[in-house]
Amino acid sequence: MHDYADIFARSFGLILTGDPGLWSVVLLSLRVSLSAVAISALLGMPLGALLAMARFPGRQPLIVLINALMGIPPVVVGLIAYLLLSRSGPLGVLGLLYTPAAMIIAQTVLVLPIVAALTRQQIEQLHAEYGEQLRSFGVRGLRAVPTLLWEGRHGLTTTLLAGFGRAIAEVGAVIIVGGNINHVTRVMTTAIALETSRGNLALALALGAILILIAVGVNAVVTMLSLSAGRGTRG
Amino acid sequence: MSAGGAERGTGRESIRRALTWIAALLLSLLAGALLFVAGITGGGVPAPEQARFVILQSTTSTRNSGLLDAILPVFEAETGIEVRVVAVGTGQALRNARNGDGDVLMVHSRADEEAFVAEGWGVARHDLMYNDFVIVGPEQDPAGIAGMGDAVAALARIAARGARFVSRGDDSGTHKAELRLWAEAGVDVAAASGGWYLETGAGMGAALNMALGLDAYTLSDRASWASFANRGRHRVLVEGDERLFNQYGVILVNPARHPHVRAEEGQRFIDWLLGPRGQGLIAAFRVNGQQLFFPNAR
């Protein structure tokens, strides 16, 4: 049937020799998912901190909602994003459907609840532990947020990595709003889906192995940066 | 984290440090994202004014068989117009086009295509090419249909034996052709759904993978089957019935309905496909030496 070893060797050969077709797919995956994580961090960390520290009516239901949205199926997000971005939809005039921007929007919707919910939980926990101490130094309310974010930085880094994991792994949303167009919106997961549907199972598996390597690489880089940052400020 | 850490983490100094850290983190994230967005990868979206492209809403068989990969680069080289292919089932392609999310349609369900044009969503429908459907099944052939020339009788026999049959179940051109054959055979597949009749709601490739895994029969267009790499011990068991004829059509989405449709580029693409150049390339396309699409534009 298939010579798996041969196809694996050839796939990794394509990566190592800088095959432009495969590399453009890999880089688009990174570009879309990292952008989605960056936007989610910008919006989600302040939102999470606010939910942890501020008291307002409707806070508890909002927390439950955001926690629940961590499990929203990518295909549903893809469908909603399609209906919004379609030429017949309310945002159709922007012409974003079938572009990387549409994929970033969809993945941001997937990642944002993870960042917000986990940030909220960590800040709340840290505040319960150190709130008293902070108050004794005259730091109260929202002014304690930067300190708490700093103390929770390792946990928050892991939160962002969890968000990245969700984004880089999903296929349901990007295949609907991206359309899996060769050289334009094809990413690793949609390429794997395509090769599977062509019956090229070994090639699909090899692409999957490359995707896992990329995820390991991103996690390794972030962990090293986070460790060296910790040493630098404490030393 | 220690109590000492918390102690060091208080006061103005720590706030300044924390803000610096947060700012650095966000800036590096943003910088990374912007670098990618700026398109250093070369895989970015070209600015709209310099991009000449059409979006082709296509059925999956034309892409999965490799036909589009074989002919589109020639068109792009000759005209400078890029063709961006969104390959989905015919039903979904028609719906996407109805929403204005495509310029040209290449699908295979004639009645639906004619309705699409009659309702004003398309400018005109043209015959492009044809091939045929085949009934694919396991070598052991539990229903004993191998070599039958009558596809309807073959399906009736599969139903009578209760042999497993995988249906696309996704409103695609192949699915509609399959339902027409069942209706002709007088078999109520809805009643058998979940028993011997399995609706996957997925593309041709997924349906073929599933039929393989379940030793089941399925209906496939010939191009998808011939170019499918994971055939295992499945074979073409029934072919050649004229009711298995599979006509592909091409339609320009109506700019009167959707003013943003790239009508000029789209019409150029259609003219090219229907002209000697496109028809010749379609005829010349081979997979393992086999011709999969037969041009028949008039």
pLDDT reading at B10 higher than 60: no
| pLDDT at position B196 | 96
- Whether the CB of A140 is below 8 Å from some CB of chain B: the reply is no
Least reliable range by pLDDT among A10-24, B194-208, B228-242: A10-24
Q: What are the tens digits of pLDDT across the range B47-65?
A: 444 569 999 999 999 999 9
What distance in Å separates the CA atoms of residue A168 and residue A143, rounded to the nearest whole number?
A: 35
Domain extent, residue A163, equals 4-234
CB contact under 8 A, A151 and B44: no
List CB contacts of B296: < 8 A, sequence separation 6 or more.
Answer: B127, B128, B129, B130, B247
Question: From CA B55, how far away is CA A95, in angstroms rounded?
Answer: 12
The residues in B 232-251 lying below 8 A from A, measured between CB atoms, are: 232
**Residue pair A59/A131 in contact by the 8 Å Cβ criterion:** no
CATH 3.40.190.10 is right for the domain spanning B132-244: yes
| For residues A77-105, average pLDDT | 95
List pLDDT tens digits, range B103-130. Answer: 999 999 999 999 999 999 999 999 999 9
Provide the pLDDT for residue B154: 97
Please give the average per-residue pLDDT across B152-158, as a whole number: 97
Domain boundaries, chain B: 53-131+246-295, 132-244
ipTM: 0.82
Q: Are B94 and B102 in contact (CB under 8 A)?
A: no
CB B7 within 8 A of CB A133: yes
Within 8 A of A137 by CB-CB distance, chain B residues are 10-11
CA pair distance B225, A19, nearest whole angstrom: 29
Task: Please name the member of B21, B84, B229 whose beta carbon is closest to the beta carbon of A184.
Answer: B84
What total of structural domains would you count in chain A? 1
- Residue B197 CA: distances (Å) to CA of B179, B204, B251: 12, 16, 33
Segment A19-43 mean pLDDT: 92
- pLDDT tens, position by position, B164-198: 999 999 999 999 999 999 999 999 999 999 999 99
Confidence of residue A227 (pLDDT cuts 50, 70, 90): confident
Residue A89 to residue B41, Cβ atoms within 8 A: no
Measured CA to CA, the distance from residue A97 to residue A180 in angstroms comes to: 12
**Do A133 and B3 lie within an 8 Å CB cutoff?**
yes
CATH topology of domain B53-131+246-295: D-Maltodextrin-Binding Protein; domain 2 (3.40.190)
Residue A76 belongs to domain with CATH number: 1.10.3720.10
pLDDT for B46 equals 45
Asked if B53-131+246-295 and B132-244 have one fold, the answer is yes
Q: Which two tokens stand for residue A170?
A: 């999903």
Among A25-39, A55-69, A214-228, B149-163, the least confident range: A214-228
- Between A139 and B179, the higher pLDDT residue: B179
Within 61-100 of B, beta carbons closer than 8 Å to A belong to 64, 69, 84-87, 96, 98-100
Distance of CA B124 to the CA centre of its chain: 21
Place of tokens 């393992």: B288
Which chain A residue has its CA at the smallest distance from B62's CA?
A: A198
